[in-house]
Amino acid sequence: MRETLIALAALVVLCAIGWLVPILPLEWVLSAGIGCVALGMLLGVPTGFWYHVRLYRALRAHGPLPARWWLRPTALHADLSGPERAAVLRWFYLGGAGFLLTAAGCACVMLAVGLAFLRIR
């Protein structure tokens, strides 16, 4: 349910950005996009790293980890107990929020560049 709400919120934000881009000056849209990418990376990269550290520590307490566990870590969430899962997923969701912010910033930059290209023609 939480993932569905996050996806819907991202869709609403992207639609709002698409509606506002033609109205706002391109410099604002481009600057906002670059700022969102920077903030998203500043939020997403450290929290994503810390999520993997917390997941490793929690799973290591239960025994050896499967080979290449970091490639599909979400499949291992079921192996965690309730308190462990809550502690690990907090960082998982923060990293996901950083990714969404980065994706929204990339969308703003692409829209601004695309509109600038169309206005030049």
Host domain of residue 19: 2-120
Task: State how many domains the chain has.
Answer: 1
Give one DSSP letter per residue of 23-88, joined into a string. Answer: TS-HHHHHHHHHHHHHHHHHHHHHHHHHHHHHHHHHHHTTSPPPTTGGGSGGGGGGGS-HHHHHHH
Q: How confident is residue 103, by pLDDT bands cut at 50, 70 and 90?
A: very high
- For the stretch 38-76, pLDDT in tens is 999 999 999 999 999 999 999 888 888 888 888 888 888
pTM for this prediction: 0.75
More reliable by pLDDT, 67 or 21: 67
Report residue 121's pLDDT band, with 50, 70 and 90 as the boundaries. low
